[in-house]
Chain A
Amino acid sequence: MKTFAELGIPGRLIAVEGIDGSGKSTQVHLLRRWLEDLGLKVFMSAWNSSELVKSATSRGKKSHLLTPTTFSLIHATDFADRYERQLLPLLRAGYLVLCDRYIFTAFARDVVRGCPPDWVRALYSFAALPDLVFFFKAHLEVSLARILSGREELKYFEAGMDLRLASDPQESYRIFQGRLLEQYLAMSAEFKFYEVDANQPVEASQRLVRQIVADRIPFGPFRAGPRA
């Protein structure tokens, strides 16, 4: 697998990964603000799935029709849709694309659900690797507390209830997130994740993120033209 840069594609993709409550969405939002302020051609992938794929996914989830295999496949379909329709064209057009989660989310989640790791990886082999991946590493308990305090109720699949880890959704969620974290940590070296200690203040993480982006990505080609 190659990165977009290695494939000679002019755009660059920066992905953030981490378990729920690790603060990755906040960080990528702040990163985007900064890059836009610098006047760069930035696109934050909003993960709008096309209506068709969304309709099938939500029916499957609502009626609990999904098995680990179909869960994996329908999410791969959804990802392919965004990748082919949105990410790849933008990257070809020379955009700096920010993604809140990328293929590693699927690698972790599907493997925890029992899918064979090499099957899942080969499934996503149509997608190039990000040029930079930030992994927000927070203590499990800190992340859990953050999510569980803000939530009335946990969704069935989000809590990993289909895995029958525990009958209590909160307990199931804890076990599920713990296993996801293990998967992320196991992938970190292989995919050269840039690990960010997410237990520090938001500003401290953001300062680090901006520094790394500035050091690794030459901004010149991403300056929007005078017409923008």
Chain B
Amino acid sequence: MPRRPAPPTKPAPRTDLPGLKVRVPRPHPKRFYGHGIPGVDPSTLTGRLIVVEGADGSGRSTQIARLVQWLESQGHATVEVGLKRSTLVAEELERAQQGNILSHTTLSLFYATDFADQLENVMLPALKAGFMVLADRYIYTLMVRDLVRGSDEAWLRNLYGIALVPDAVFYLQVPPEELIQRTFAKSHALDYWESGMDLGLARDMFDSFILYQRRMAETFQHLQTLYHFTIVDGTRSIEAINADLRQQIERLLAE
């Protein structure tokens, strides 16, 4: 009898490549700050919502880009969201900023509409599908901008009762004096809104920028006591900050 060839042995799975051990995080149901979105049960939103807050020039976008790359290489589907990116009103918001023609409550509600549109059309579906959602700014920036312009805090908290409570909020703290150096290194010009010029704090833009950013930082501190952000020292190197954020997010994913 011809000898049958020995059945092929199944090779042992390889373990020597990075990224093979994709960890499956436990579902993490969410809750809303207030009434939420009609008809949405937040306990069905199992992904993670991670927010990075901070002034322009605090390194938010750089950090988020790196976090997206890192999370994806770990095998986690990731979506990035930010302000003024909705299909519904982003274009008009941009134009409103150029012309400074909307009054205060109007602009505030316009931004809220932009936020709600992205919340419902991007964040909720992604979180429902178990994605990692990285938000480049969230309701806190919107609230702080309005608070320094005299909005009623209770009114804002009701308005943003539609928002989800994130799993983590990192606030990149950089002193205004350094922000101004970073801004000049990048664009050689200060932005009208980021300098709070509409508030008439000072005649020259440099002074206005410093005063405005200081007020913004103070108001963020105030919100920190209510919303418990993690304050991250944004004056360190990009790598050091990123290592810090990764470590905290890793801990979050292991929960």
Contact = CB atoms under 8 A, between A and B. Distances in A.
Interface of A: 50, 52-53, 55-56, 59-60, 65-70, 73-74, 76-77, 80-81, 83-85, 113-116, 118-119, 122-123, 125-126
B147 to A, nearest CB: 15
Interface stretch (B22-30, B99-107, B244-252): B99-107
B35 to A, nearest CB: 4
Contacts of A84: 103-106
11 contacts: A50-B101, A52-B95, A56-B89, A56-B113, A70-B117, A73-B112, A74-B89, A77-B109, A81-B106, A119-B161, A122-B158
Interface in B67-107: 87-89, 91-92, 95-96, 101-106
Contact of B35 (A50, A53, A116): A116
A60 B120 CA distance: 14
Contacts of B121: 65
Nearest to A119: B35
The majority secondary structure among interface residues of chain A is: helix
Nearest to A49: B106
A70 B88 contact: yes
A28 B157 CA distance: 36
Contacts of B101: 50, 52
Contact of A52 (B37, B87, B92, B112): B92
Nearest to B89: A56
B159 interface: yes
B38 interface: yes
Nearest to B99: A52
A70 B116 contact: yes
A34 B253 CA distance: 69
Given A60-B88, A77-B109, A123-B158, A69 B120 contact: yes
A118 B89 CA distance: 25
Given A53-B92, A56-B113, A70-B116, A85 B155 contact: no
> Which 7 pairs show the lowest CB-CB distances between chains A and B?
A84-B103, A114-B38, A122-B158, A77-B109, A116-B35, A73-B113, A80-B105
Interface residues of B, number: 34
Contacts of B161: 119
Contacts of B89: 56, 60, 74
A85 B116 contact: no
A28 to B, nearest CB: 24
A68 B102 contact: no
A126 B106 contact: no
A163 to B, nearest CB: 11
Nearest to A85: B103
A163 B103 CA distance: 32
B50 interface: no
A115 B38 contact: yes
A54 to B, nearest CB: 9
Interface centre among B104, B110, B159, B162 (most CB of A within 10 A): B110
B39 interface: yes
B34 interface: yes
B92 A68 contact: no
Given A50-B102, A69-B120, A116-B35, 20 more contacts: A52-B95, A52-B102, A53-B92, A55-B91, A55-B92, A56-B91, A56-B113, A65-B117, A69-B162, A73-B112, A77-B110, A80-B105, A84-B105, A114-B38, A114-B39, A119-B35, A122-B159, A123-B158, A125-B155, A126-B152
Nearest to B90: A56
Contact of A74 (B105, B113, B152): B113
Contact of B106 (A77, A122, A125): A77
A81 B154 CA distance: 21
Given A50-B102, A77-B110, A81-B106, A69 B37 contact: yes
A10 B34 CA distance: 37
A77 B113 contact: yes
